[in-house]
Amino acid sequence: MRALRLAWLTVVRQPARSCLGILGVAAVGALLFDMLLLSRGLILSFRDLLDRAGFDVRVVASDTLPFNGPRLEDATALARLIASLPEVEAVQQVRVADAETASGDFRRRIEFVGADPQARPMWTIVAGQDIAGRGEAALVINRHLAQTLRLSPGSSMSLTGRCGEAQGAPPLAFTVAGIAEFPFDTATADTVAGALSAAGRLCGRTTEDTADLLVVRSRPDAGADAAAAAIRRARRDVHVVTSDDLVQQFNRTQFSYFRQISVVLATVTLFFGVLLIAVLLTVSVNQHLGEIATLRAIGLTRRRVVSGIVWESAMLVGAGGILALPLGTALSVWLDRILRSMPGVPADLHFFVFEPRALVIHALLLAMAAIAAAAYPVRIVAALPIAATLRREAVS
Amino acid sequence: MTPIVEARSISRVFPMPAGPVTALRDVSLSIAAGDYLGVVGPSGCGKSTLLHVLGCVDVPTSGTLLFHDRDVGSLADTERSRLRLREIGFVFQRFFLLPMLTAAENVELPQAEAGAPRAERRRRTMALLEYVGLAARADHRPSELSGGEMQRVAIARALANRPRLLLADEPTGELDQGTGEQIATLLDRLHADGTAVVVVTHDPAIAGRARRLLRMRDGRIVDEAPR
Amino acid sequence: MVFQPTMTAAFLISVALLTQASPTAVEPAGILITRQLAESRGLTVGSVVKLATDPAGAHARLFRVDGIYEPTPDPMHFAQPQLDARMHLPDLLALEAGMPDERDRRGVTSINVALSDRDAERFALDVAARVPGLVARATSAPDDRTNTFIVVERFHLAIAIVTVVGSAVFLLALMVMLVDERRSTVGILRLIGFTRRRILLQVFIEGAVIALAGAAAGILFALASQRLFNGFFQWRYDTTLVFLRITPSVVWRSLAMAVPFGIAASLVASWTFLRQQLLALIRR
């Protein structure tokens, strides 16, 4: 009879206790699984958003975050220079301006993304057409704005720039060409995209040639690093970051709290799970010392009896761990919804993201937990004095 | 006749908080194939300790225990386990059957551990249960058996790997007189079939069936009488 | 009280370029820098540094470090080192003079106002009514930052709920095992005439004592680990923020949950045995 079957029979012998143990591990495992999803969720989601824009290198004037620092001067010449590099496939100038709707009593604040209409867009059209070939007055707007202002392709809208001292610039009339999804939009963001020149005209600057950033797509055979290096060589005064750099930078700063908290919670959770199973097994072993001593007396080796305990632990942790997966997935949806309600978080950014790696680590950690939990009861069994136990059990 | 097991001046001392307790003092003993030995004496005289040492579940503090001329003290734990598995059968006062296994599975367990093929161990299990008169209860769990039936299953389990030596510690201690008689008759049969039997007992009826009778007191053998 | 004028410009700037410079004949303006900035660049009081808002260092000016301060930790940006410098507004404007988008920067992000009558809400309403487009709010009023912490608090609460559920299962499993171990004792007590009620009372008292002791041990453990937890995160992020604080309210809430849970778990576990026949309890 295999150790596995004997362990199984021992586990099912006390179904209530085993079920409670499995449920406890499931709760702990679910939390552990979620912490694994959280530990890299933001990074994966952020990376996905960056990739969705379709560009893998960003060029800005300083090492501050885009739109917070100084602008790039002579942006068109710079874009042309970068586009001429053999490692580069496409370049897009981006200029962001603050604007507001110019009609009605309530002035809605709007983020105007100015980009070259002929270049590959950073947004995804979901209805209507893109701005390419439709002149300076064409706009694409995000869903939130379309729903709030009841706009659809073909609608007209008027925008005024919020441009500091230039606050007196006249409103500009635009036509909605299409509705688009912007990767970094928050759930309540009002974003529109139009021609680069329109962004300047909003503030009455028709001759200014600046950009907040240039987004660059590298050639597939060259890669982002090679493109970034080429740009750095061509223009030493600009700051060049690849998507990988950005992810790493955010990983170190913005997202590190969630990574740290997930590590702390996963550790505590795992400790808790180990404790639960260790207590369950220890009590179980202590209750069956007579049987264990008998097994040893009739000739089962120490290793064989010990392996039974490890199997018992593996069964409880394994069953709990499997149950933890659907439980953890449901829990992660709930927790993700809570965290995504944080202000300023892009609507498509997720804190809990599944990846096969998390499943593997989950299984490995639980396997380690099963072994660690079995350590103490195994020690009891391994050091069990057969004769003394039989004697004690005979008189008890 | 070559002894199966031979104890030479063995002692067993248990360290206790109140001071060491000597359970066996300088005991020498030899058990050969075909022996039927009864061990009697007052409670705490060292009978069970002697049985445990002879059965290789305990090791003497001093002296030598030879099993087929091999010094048990020099054997590793795994080798002692193998010895118990193949050469020794144990019967306990409280049966110690595994409650989650059926009678047949309890008997099959040591055979499986010894690596017997499945078909062979099924056949032998049924034969053993037949031998002890419990073939009809093969699929019953211990909780569904009477005390006498449990002890008979325990004896079948002890015989599973055809041991040369059967050690029984108060095998009728928890049974009524009639059931105890049945067990004693079964032990007689085992002896008649060639297994060396050592029985520790308080029951004069059981002791009376043994061919040799050891009397113990204070950890010593005070009398050994062939019968 | 904080004003948020529509014209935006940097009042407290992040340092675009910072190099230590040799003292010159012209007395440089004084600035204050954060401890983190001083440590990261090896600056001390009296150091003379060159600052510019242009990444290439154009229009850089010299400043003298007059003091180093521990910045008020900002929970929204604790993961980023606070490399800040404070200077007088005229110095900042002078620093930005000649920059291409200088026009845009001739403003401040906020104006802090200390009120004599302390009725900030009324003052804010008054300002908003007089100057349309100006956002005025009391510093104690909730804003996006508060919302962030409400969300984080909700997240922690959700995790706490899962932990409590897990703990409850753990507790029940423990109690089932503890009671199971005493199955025959309970049987014997019933055999010699103890009523179920009497035994339940005993279990209740034992459950309460164990739950109280467990909760107390848990609280002590939390208090001890609080320092460890805070220490780790304060070291990790170089901040004086307190990440975890065991308040009396937390202690009471823990007790209020743990003790009834413990007692309930022991009673539930015992009741399954007490319902059984007496002989079933003492049969081995």
Same domain, C164 and C103: no
Contact between B81 and A300 using a beta-carbon 8 Å cutoff:
yes
B50: which chain A residues are within 8 Å (Cβ-Cβ)?
none
Residue span of the structural domain in which C89 resides: 3-130
C-alpha distances in angstroms, B141 versus A85, A394, B107, B120, C133? 82, 21, 12, 22, 85
Determine the distance in angstroms separating the CA of A278 from the nearest CA of chain B, rounded to an integer: 22
Same domain, C34 and C70: yes
Output the pLDDT for position C66: 93
Domain boundary among C69, C98, C130: C130
Same domain, C124 and C153: no
Give the chain A residue nearest B101 (alpha carbons).
Answer: A9
Same domain, C187 and C123: no
pLDDT bucket at C2, cuts 50 / 70 / 90: very low
CA A99 to chain centre: 31
User: For an interface test with B, which of A284, A298, A301, A315 has the most B Cβ atoms less than 10 Å from its Cβ?
Assistant: A298
Quick check: is C19 in a domain?
yes
**What region does B59 belong to: left with phi over 0, alpha with psi -120 to 50, or beta?**
beta
Same domain, C238 and C177: yes
Same domain, C55 and C106: yes
A390: which chain B residues are within 8 Å (Cβ-Cβ)?
52, 57, 92, 96, 169
If 0-12 CB within 10 Å is exposed, 13-18 middle and 19+ buried, where does residue B35 land?
buried
Residues B121-133: pLDDT tens digits?
A: 999 999 999 988 8
**Helix runs in C133-243, H state only:** 144-181, 183-191, 196-237
Contact status of A207 with chain C (Cβ, < 8 Å)? no
Residues A364-386: pLDDT tens digits?
A: 999 999 899 999 999 999 999 99
A250: which chain C residues are within 8 Å (Cβ-Cβ)?
none
Q: Find the range with the poorest average confidence among A28-42, C123-137, C245-259.
A: C123-137
Domain boundary among C130, C164, C187: C130
Contacts across the A-B interface (CB distance below 8 Å): 92
Is ipTM > 0.90 here? Answer: no
Quick check: is C109 in a domain?
yes
- Residues of chain A falling short of pLDDT 70: 1, 63-69, 102-106, 163-168, 205-207, 253-255, 394-396
Chains that touch B (3 or more CB pairs under 8 A): A
Same domain, C172 and C118: no
* Average pLDDT value for residue range C257-279: 78
Contact between B108 and A290 using a beta-carbon 8 Å cutoff:
no
Our count of domains for chain C comes to 2
Same domain, C201 and C273: yes
Quick check: is C141 in a domain?
no
A339: which chain C residues are within 8 Å (Cβ-Cβ)?
151-152, 155
First to last CA, chain A: 29
Contact status of B90 with chain A (Cβ, < 8 Å)? yes
A393: which chain B residues are within 8 Å (Cβ-Cβ)?
94, 96
DSSP B61-130: SEEEEEETTEEGGGS-HHHHHHHHHHHEEEE-TT----TTS-HHHHHHHHHHHTT--HHHHHHHHHHHHH
Same domain, C181 and C273: yes
User: For an interface test with C, which of A205, A338, A393 has the most C Cβ atoms less than 10 Å from its Cβ?
Assistant: A338
A69: which chain C residues are within 8 Å (Cβ-Cβ)?
16, 55
Output the pLDDT for position C6: 31
Check: CB of residue C10 under 8 Å from CB of residue C118: no
Give the chain A residue nearest C144 (alpha carbons).
Answer: A343
Output the pLDDT for position C33: 92
Same domain, C97 and C9: yes
Same domain, C26 and C104: yes
Quick check: is C99 in a domain?
yes
Output the pLDDT for position C103: 47
Contact between C151 and A342 using a beta-carbon 8 Å cutoff:
yes
Q: Which residues of A184-211 are buried (b: 16+ CB within 10 A; e: fewer)?
A: bbbeebbbbbbbbbbbbbbbebeebbbb
Quick check: is C139 in a domain?
no
Which tokens is A370 given?
A: 């099963």
Quick check: is C65 in a domain?
yes
Contact between C6 and A162 using a beta-carbon 8 Å cutoff:
yes
Q: Which A residues 117-136 touch C at CB under 8 Å?
A: none
Q: What angle do CA C234, C236, C242 make, to 5 degrees?
A: 20
Output the pLDDT for position C183: 75
Which tokens is A238 given?
A: 């600009």
Domain boundary among C65, C100, C130: C130
Number of neighbours of residue B187 by Cβ within 10 angstroms: 22
Contact status of C163 with chain A (Cβ, < 8 Å)? yes
Could you tell me which of A236, A304, A252, A335 has the C-alpha nearest to residue A36? A335
pLDDT bucket at C235, cuts 50 / 70 / 90: confident
Partner residue facing A24 (CB), from C151, C170, C229:
C170
Which tokens is B147 given?
A: 């005390």
Same domain, C194 and C107: no
Quick check: is C217 in a domain?
yes
* Average pLDDT value for residue range C131-137: 73
Output the pLDDT for position C14: 39
C17: pLDDT strictly greater than 80: no
pLDDT bucket at C11, cuts 50 / 70 / 90: very low
Quick check: is C135 in a domain?
no
Residues C67-81: pLDDT tens digits?
A: 999 888 776 666 677
B78: which chain A residues are within 8 Å (Cβ-Cβ)?
301-303
C18: pLDDT strictly greater than 60: no
